[in-house]
């Protein structure tokens, strides 16, 4: 059986790589912080000192790192993957990153006789742990067909979206919808609170109809408990919305809702909540209209 390479052992990567290992694949792993790969190493995965070392040992290499700069370093940097890529190898970047970067990786891989897919996911840490991720794939359909059995170990809704970069574009569409629903849900929760409604009773009325959405089902109850634990980090969402905005600008497409969402999430970061879950948007919106204690005293006297 061919050896599988895995780079990136963050909260999602470590679960995903574990699924492939348990499926019986030999794994060679690299991560910026070796200690985070320990559970995999103890289970029998081999350590590689650099991405290039992973590429030398493996036939299919998955990457799941943080930001586009990390992806660039892993693929194009010193001791990176692509300088040592060889014919027939397949690179699969599952990081959410720039569609243009995905196209660059694919073009460089192709020039060396290798192939690359962009395959960002949705479903978060829980989806990764339970192998229920949605995987959006861009690249050569024949290469997609080759990797599909491995994707099926990681997720359930696995869709080929088109040529290189299309997986990243589909992920941007996903984040755009989430940005809109998150603004709607958080503004609705704030409105309810100010209007003196009972939160759960309000949700009971609106969740079953045209306002119904995943955010209302899953994050609104957390907001009622003042639970801002991630889910999905604000810092990562700001990155994703920035990629979407830049791509939209490149396509000469103005998206005012997206622009507003990103500004509000930058405010969430500014208030120190970058490592909270995306539902912390409520805090920035609440802060906007926080009553000035002086004014309040004046009004109440």
Binders in 183-242 for a copy of itself, by CB under 8 A: 183-185, 187-192, 194-198, 201-202, 204-206, 208-216, 218, 232
Buried b (16+ CB within 10 A) or exposed e, 151-173: beebbeebebbeebbbbbbbbbe
Nearer to a copy of itself, 82 or 264 (CB): 264
Which residues, numbered 43-102, are part of the site for a copy of itself (CB under 8 A)? Answer: 99
The β-bridge partners of 157 are: 134
Task: Report the candidate in 99, 13, 15, 101 with the shortest Cα–Cα distance to residue 54.
Answer: 13
Least distance (Å) from a copy of itself to the CB of residue 207?
9
Nearer to a copy of itself, 7 or 135 (CB): 135
Least distance (Å) from a copy of itself to the CB of residue 234?
14
Kindly tell me which residue out of 225, 254, 293, 301 binds a copy of itself, with binding defined by CB under 8 A: 254
Does 171 participate in catalysis according to the annotation?
yes
Q: How far apart (Å, rounded) are the C-alpha atoms in residues 89 and 112?
A: 9
Buried b (16+ CB within 10 A) or exposed e, 206-236: beeeeeebebbeebbeebbeeebebbbbbbb
Least distance (Å) from a copy of itself to the CB of residue 258?
6
Kindly tell me which residue out of 14, 55, 64, 258 binds a copy of itself, with binding defined by CB under 8 A: 258
With beta carbons less than 8 A apart as the criterion, state whether 6 and 20 touch: yes
SS3 138: strand
Name 219's Cβ contacts closer than 8 Å, sequence gap at least 6.
182, 185, 231, 277, 278, 279
Kindly tell me which residue out of 19, 169, 239, 273 binds a copy of itself, with binding defined by CB under 8 A: 169
Least distance (Å) from a copy of itself to the CB of residue 286?
9
SS3 36: helix
Q: Does 150 bind a copy of itself (CB under 8 A)?
A: no
The residue from 21, 25, 30, 171 that is catalytic is 171
Q: Does 291 bind a copy of itself (CB under 8 A)?
A: yes
Nearer to a copy of itself, 5 or 277 (CB): 277
Nearer to a copy of itself, 33 or 298 (CB): 298
User: What residues are annotated to the active site?
Assistant: 171
């Amino acid at each position: 059986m061919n050896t599988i390479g895995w780079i990136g052992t963050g909260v999602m990567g470590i679960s995903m790589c574990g699924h492939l290992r348990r499926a019986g694949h030999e794994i060679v792993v690299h991560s910026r912080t070796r200690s985070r790969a320990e559970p995999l190493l103890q289970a029998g995965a081999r350590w590689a000192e650099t991405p290039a070392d992973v590429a030398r040992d493996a036939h299919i290499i998955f990457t799941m790192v943080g930001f586009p700069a990390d992806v660039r370093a892993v693929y194009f940097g010193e001791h990176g993957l692509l300088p040592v890529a060889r014919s027939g190898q397949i690179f699969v970047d599952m990081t959410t990153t720039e569609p243009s970067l995905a196209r660059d990786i694919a073009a460089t891989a192709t020039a060396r006789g290798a192939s690359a897919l962009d395959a960002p996911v949705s479903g978060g840490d829980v989806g990764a742990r339970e192998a229920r991720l949605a995987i959006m794939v861009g690249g050569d359909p024949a290469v997609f067909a080759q990797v599909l059995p491995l994707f099926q170990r990681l997720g359930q809704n696995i869709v080929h979206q088109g040529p290189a970069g299309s997986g990243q574009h589909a992920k941007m569409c996903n984040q755009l919808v989430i940005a809109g629903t998150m603004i709607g849900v958080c503004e609705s929760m704030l409105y309810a609170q100010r209007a003196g409604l009972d939160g759960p009773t309000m949700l009971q009325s609106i969740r079953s109809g045209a306002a119904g959405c995943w955010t209302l089902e899953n994050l609104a109850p957390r907001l009622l408990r003042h639970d801002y634990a991630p889910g999905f980090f604000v810092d990562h969402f700001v990155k994703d919305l920035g990629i979407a905005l830049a791509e939209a600008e490149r396509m000469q497409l103005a998206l005012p809702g997206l622009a507003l969402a990103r500004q509000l999430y930058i405010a969430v970061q500014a208030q120190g909540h970058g490592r909270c879950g995306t539902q912390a948007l409520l805090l920035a919106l609440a802060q906007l209209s926080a009553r000035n204690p002086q004014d309040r005293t004046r009004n109440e006297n």
